[in-house]
Amino acid sequence: MGRYSHRPAEVKERPYEIHPIWRGIGCIMLVIGPFMAFAAAHILVGLDMEYGWLPVPREMRGAFSIDALELTIEHLYADLLVMAVLLLLGFGLIMVIYAIVYGMAGPKRFGPMDSPPIRYGPPRPKPPKKKSKKKR
């Protein structure tokens, strides 16, 4: 074979397959998550406008309207900004929970073919040998 030619890699099939239920749950989370975040953001921004928790710039408070549908959304840009923050927090929380559960229930860290981990630092002192009493 030439120097710059290569063979296509062999495709290895997994010995397991992900159950379709888990794929469906992930799809639902990805679809429903933004809708829930937008609804929560709309409520939070509305309460912020009412009680004045945080100052919101005038540009973010503007209404967005679609005349053909006669639809008006108050403070859409502020809603989208808060929605993005809520999505980041929500998916970050899901990742942390998944990491904790996987750490508790996942596979062992080292398999039977792995060498023991390297210890850094001073060597451990050996325990003193017990003196055996010799009978004379």
Tens of pLDDT, residues 41-63: 999 999 998 898 888 888 888 88
Residue 5 reports pLDDT greater than 90: no
d(CA 18, CA 62): 46
What is the pLDDT at residue 126? 83
131: helix, coil or strand?
A: coil
Reported as a single tens digit per residue, the pLDDT across 63-72 is 888 888 888 8
pTM, two decimals, is: 0.65
d(CA 55, CA 75): 13
What is the pLDDT at residue 109? 76
65: helix, coil or strand?
A: strand
